[in-house]
Amino acid sequence: MTALTAPAPAPSGLRRVRALAAAETRLLLRNRTAVVNSVLLPLFLVAVVPAAGLGGDGPLGPRLAVTAVAVTLVFLTYYNLVTTYVARREELVLQRMRSGELTPAEVLLGTAAPTLLVTLVQVALVLAGTAVIGEWSTPTDVVLPVLALLGGAALMTLLAAASTSFTRTAESAQITTLPLVTLASVTSGVLVPLTAFPEQVAQVLRLTPVEPVVELARLGLAGQTWDGRTVDWAGAWAAAPQPLLVLAGWIALATLVAPRVFRWAPRR
Amino acid sequence: MQLTRPAPAAGPLPAGAAAPVVEVTDLRRRHGEVEAVRGISFEVRPGEVFALLGVNGAGKTSALEVVEGLAPASGGTVRVLGADPVTERAAVRPHLGVLLQSSGLPADLTVRETVALWAATLTAPRPVDEGLAQVGLTDRAGLRVRSLSGGERRRLDLTLALLGSPRVVVLDEPTTGLDPESRRTVWALVRQRVAEGAAVVLTTHHLEEAEELADRIAVMRAGRIVLSGTAAEIAATQPATVRFTLPAGAPALPAVPGAQVVSAVPRVELHTRALQPVLTALLAWADAHDLVLGGLQARAASLEQAFLAVADGADPS
């Protein structure tokens, strides 16, 4: 048996992910439709949210921002990543990438990078939009919405990876993503306020995957609890443990499930 | 080297040879109810090319995927450079170059961008330009992958597999879809890597490729290795063939020791494992009876003949 000897220092995981992420971003920028859509969605939100009265009660700026976080995570991050992972799997690109030095997690993260970047850019564009239309208001807390965005992005990435197990083609993602998209739309409190449901139902809905993201974003950006109470910074943090725990629980569950059900190559 | 029939291990190696860098022992792999690989064993040493042959579905790719670290074994062990390629992936990968049977590359990256991306993920990549030149893609470097021909994509894939100067190279049907010139380019690259000390495991449907490149060959059928050895040793498992046509009125063919008559008068076919004595006896008989054996052909056994015999389900004999 010939033993392994250490070669030159291996590139760090970060460097490998950065290389793949740069290539994926280049691919995204070469897709004009995707680039245009990335800019149009925030503009759409800035136009629709005030008109439709979405995002709960209170000033328009925080409502816009809360809606942007939830809508972007579900409709862009989750949906795009399901289609991207499935398309790359069916094109045999994922398997090829996995056959080199990139680890499986690095392949998934590098592939997701442009979508995650666009998620951040879109939320930033909406925030800028609120300032442009004169609706910006100082957040009650900055950390909670950042945690909501980052935790939500991690959860959506993991749920997208898990959803590829029952998505055969990129086209069929339009159907297979519907359960989460519908669930998130109805139960997250962004389109339909939880106060519209009976108390016991609302408490159950607070355990669904996207609700804690909305709840944390609203606590930080609007200083509002899920049931519409206005709170200060201390009150926001006092109300934060449950959504933080629920979000962490979903991330932990998705971390367990996604690697077990994810397929790297098309079904034989 | 001994020939094994059927072979639990694909041929012992010469004494004093370098230690094996690929060790496969009683490997099994299941796909649901189907056992695709049923206990195969082989070793490959530095500077050696080992070829796995078999018809589609024989289990070659299923076996290689375990060696590549892309799938766990259902049973048995696989060691690449002494480490498990699945559970000790990080230790193995910098030394392993893989060309999958079919794989995809991002279609809208250029050829150069693709090689540069791959290089950025490797521990010790060779220069991008060198990789491109090696497979004759320098003048295609600015084109997007989607506009390459199938053969060009295969060459691009191959240069990625070899870009990290791997000590172990796994090539799953490396020349499928390539024109004869490209195929020779690939052979030259493989030989160069082997000369530099790499161990190569390859599968192929081109028997001449196995004869050209492989030091040792194993023929798989239904998940098992049923023949192994050098190309000559495997060919020798099959009889040589003598064919001729007897003229009208010729006397009956005598019994020739060591020859089996497969078809008789007037178009005779004999099978034998002792070609020279049989041919000598036959010619002496023809001479004694003043006969001309029309269209006389004597053909030694070939790897193809052995392969087809295995594919047909015949027991190697």
- Residues B149-169: tens digit of each pLDDT: 988 999 999 999 999 999 999
The pLDDT tens digits of the residues spanning A4-45 come to: 555 567 778 899 999 999 999 999 998 888 788 777 877 787
Provide residues of A within 8 Å CB-CB of chain B: 1-4, 7-11, 15-16, 19-20, 22-24, 26-27, 30-31, 88, 91-93, 95-96, 98-103, 264, 268
Domain that holds residue A109: 13-260
B134 and B275 inside one domain: no
Looking at chain A, the whole-number percentage of residues with pLDDT higher than 90 is: 68
The pLDDT tens digits of the residues spanning A189-220 come to: 888 889 999 999 999 999 999 999 999 999 99
How sure is the predictor about B4, in pLDDT bands with cuts at 50, 70 and 90? very low
Domain assignment present for residue A5? The answer is: no
Domain assignment present for residue A266? The answer is: no
Number of H helices, E strands in chain B: 10, 13
Q: Do A264 and B124 touch (CB under 8 A)?
A: no
Domain assignment present for residue A210? The answer is: yes
User: Rounded to whole angstroms, how far apart are CA atoms A109 and A18?
Assistant: 9
Provide the pLDDT for residue A54: 66
User: Rounded to whole angstroms, how far apart are CA atoms A55 and A68?
Assistant: 9
B225 and B249 inside one domain: no
Domain assignment present for residue B312? The answer is: no
Name residue A12's amino acid: S
Q: Is the pLDDT reported for residue B315 higher than 90? A: no
Contacts of A89 in chain B (CB under 8 A): none
Provide the pLDDT for residue A93: 96
The SS3 call for residue B268 is: strand
B253 and B148 inside one domain: no
**Residue range B45-59: mean pLDDT, rounded:** 93
Q: Do B120 and A15 touch (CB under 8 A)?
A: yes
Domain assignment present for residue B115? The answer is: yes
Provide the pLDDT for residue B238: 86
Provide the pLDDT for residue B17: 62
B127 and B161 inside one domain: yes
Q: Is the pLDDT reported for residue B2 higher than 70? A: no
**Residue range B175-181: mean pLDDT, rounded:** 88
Provide the pLDDT for residue A22: 96
Provide the pLDDT for residue B248: 84
* Cα dist from B307 to A137, A177, A232, B27, whole Å: 77, 49, 80, 22
The pLDDT tens digits of the residues spanning A153-166 come to: 999 999 999 999 99
Q: Do A95 and B18 touch (CB under 8 A)?
A: no
Provide the pLDDT for residue A133: 83
Encode B30-57: b = buried (16+ Cβ within 10 Å), e = exposed: eeeeebbbbebbbbbbbbbbbbbbbbee
B22, B80, B117: best to mutate for the A interface, most A CBs within 10 A: B117
Domain assignment present for residue B14? The answer is: no
A118 CA to chain B: closest CA distance, Å? Answer: 19
Provide the pLDDT for residue B18: 80
The SS3 call for residue A107 is: helix
* Cα dist from A117 to A38, A184, B97, B120, whole Å: 11, 21, 32, 21
How sure is the predictor about A112, in pLDDT bands with cuts at 50, 70 and 90? very high
Domain assignment present for residue B282? The answer is: yes
Total domains present in chain A: 1
Domain assignment present for residue B102? The answer is: yes
B141 and B190 inside one domain: yes
Total domains present in chain B: 2
B132 and B251 inside one domain: no
User: Between residues B289 and B266, which one has the greater pLDDT?
Assistant: B289
Final residue in a domain of this structure, among B201, B216, B235: B235
- For chains A and B, what is the number of CB pairs under 8 angstroms? 101
B205 and B294 inside one domain: no
Treating both helix axes as pointing N-terminal to C-terminal, what angle do A13-29 and A104-132 enclose, rounded to 10 degrees? 60
User: pTM for this structure?
Assistant: 0.86
B121, B122, B163: best to mutate for the A interface, most A CBs within 10 A: B121
Provide the pLDDT for residue B257: 86
How sure is the predictor about B25, in pLDDT bands with cuts at 50, 70 and 90? very high
A213 CA to chain B: closest CA distance, Å? Answer: 33
Provide the pLDDT for residue B266: 81
Q: Is the pLDDT reported for residue B244 higher than 70? A: yes
**Residue range B231-260: mean pLDDT, rounded:** 87
Provide the pLDDT for residue B284: 93
User: Rounded to whole angstroms, how far apart are CA atoms B226 and A141?
Assistant: 70
Tokens of B131: 């990789």
Tokens of B24: 């496969």
Provide the pLDDT for residue A2: 53
Domain assignment present for residue A158? The answer is: yes
Pick the residue from chain A with its C-alpha nearest to B24. Answer: A1
B118 CA to chain A: closest CA distance, Å? Answer: 8
Provide the pLDDT for residue B6: 40
Contacts of B107 in chain A (CB under 8 A): 91
How sure is the predictor about B41, in pLDDT bands with cuts at 50, 70 and 90? very high
Q: Do B79 and A95 touch (CB under 8 A)?
A: no
Q: Do B94 and A10 touch (CB under 8 A)?
A: yes
Name residue B97's amino acid: G
B196 and B294 inside one domain: no
Q: Which of A24-33, A50-59, A243-252 has the highest mean pLDDT?
A: A243-252
**Residue range B80-87: mean pLDDT, rounded:** 95
Contacts of A32 in chain B (CB under 8 A): none
B281 and B139 inside one domain: no
HSE of A191 in the Cβ direction (CA atoms, 13 Å)?
A: 13
Q: What is the mean pLDDT of chain A?
A: 90
Q: Is the pLDDT reported for residue B235 higher than 50? A: yes
Summarize chain A as % helix, strand, coil (round to 5): 70, 0, 30
Pick the residue from chain B with its C-alpha nearest to A95. Answer: B103
Name residue A253's amino acid: L
Contacts of B56 in chain A (CB under 8 A): none
Pick the residue from chain B with its C-alpha nearest to A90. Answer: B104
Q: Do B121 and A100 touch (CB under 8 A)?
A: yes
Domain assignment present for residue A80? The answer is: yes
B261 and B113 inside one domain: no
B126 and B142 inside one domain: yes
Least-confidence region, from A105-109, A168-172, A183-187, B193-197: A183-187
Domain assignment present for residue B6? The answer is: no
B29 CA to chain A: closest CA distance, Å? Answer: 15
User: Rounded to whole angstroms, how far apart are CA atoms B32 and B5?
Assistant: 29
The SS3 call for residue B17 is: coil
Provide the pLDDT for residue A204: 95
The pLDDT tens digits of the residues spanning B89-117 come to: 999 999 999 999 988 999 999 999 999 99
Q: Which of B13-17, B139-143, B225-229 has the highest mean pLDDT?
A: B139-143
Q: Do B100 and A101 touch (CB under 8 A)?
A: no
Provide the pLDDT for residue B1: 38
User: Rounded to whole angstroms, how far apart are CA atoms B220 and B227?
Assistant: 7
Domain that holds residue B55: 22-235
Provide the pLDDT for residue B38: 96
Domain assignment present for residue B305? The answer is: no
Domain assignment present for residue B84? The answer is: yes
Is the distance from CB of A220 to CB of A254 less than 8 angstroms? Answer: no
Pick the residue from chain B with its C-alpha nearest to A107. Answer: B121
Q: What is the CATH number of the domain that holds B173?
A: 3.40.50.300
Domain assignment present for residue A2? The answer is: no
Q: Is the pLDDT reported for residue B8 higher than 50? A: no
Look up tokens 């050696």; give the residue.
Answer: B48
B102 and B147 inside one domain: yes
